[in-house]
Structure 1
Amino acid sequence: MAEADSFSVSVADWQRDETDIAQIRRRVFIEEQAVPEAMEWEARDAECDWFVARDAGGAIVGIARLTPDAHIGRMAVLPDWRRRGVGSALLQAALARARQKGLARIGLHAQVHALGFYARLGFAAQGPEFDEAGIPHREMFLDLTE
Structure 2
Amino acid sequence: MNAFTIETVNWRHSKRRLKRLRDRVFVCEWRIPRQSEFDEQDPLSEHVLIIDSDGSDIATGRITPEGEIGRIAVISHHRGEEIYNVLYTALLQIAKEKDLDDVYVQCELDGVNHFESQGFHPIGSVFMDCGIPRQKMSCPVSDFSWSRVELTH
TM over 0.5: yes
2:140 alignment counterpart? 143
Deviation at 1:79, TM superposition (A): 0.3
TM-score, normalization by structure 1: 0.86
Deviation at 1:44, TM superposition (A): 2.9
1:92-131 to 2 correspondences below 5 Å: 92-131=89-128
Deviation at 1:75, TM superposition (A): 0.7
Unaligned runs of 5+ in 2: 144-153
1:29 paired with 2:46, answer no
Unaligned runs of 5+ in 1: none
Decide which of 48, 52, 57 is 1:55's aligned counterpart.
52
> What is the total number of aligned residue pairs between the two structures?
143
| Structure 1: 4+ residue segments shifted above 4 A | none
Give deviations 1:24-63, integer Å, cap 9, x for gaps: 1111111111211111111331221000111102211000
1:69 paired with 2:66, answer yes
Q: Say whether the 8 Å CA contact 2:67–2:103 is kept in structure 1.
A: yes
Give deviations 1:94-117, integer Å, cap 9, x for gaps: 111101111001111012233355
Q: CA RMSD in A?
A: 1.9
- Could you tell me the percent identity over the aligned residues? 24
1:72-87 to 2 correspondences below 5 Å: 72-87=69-84
Distance 1:88 1:124, change over 3 A: farther
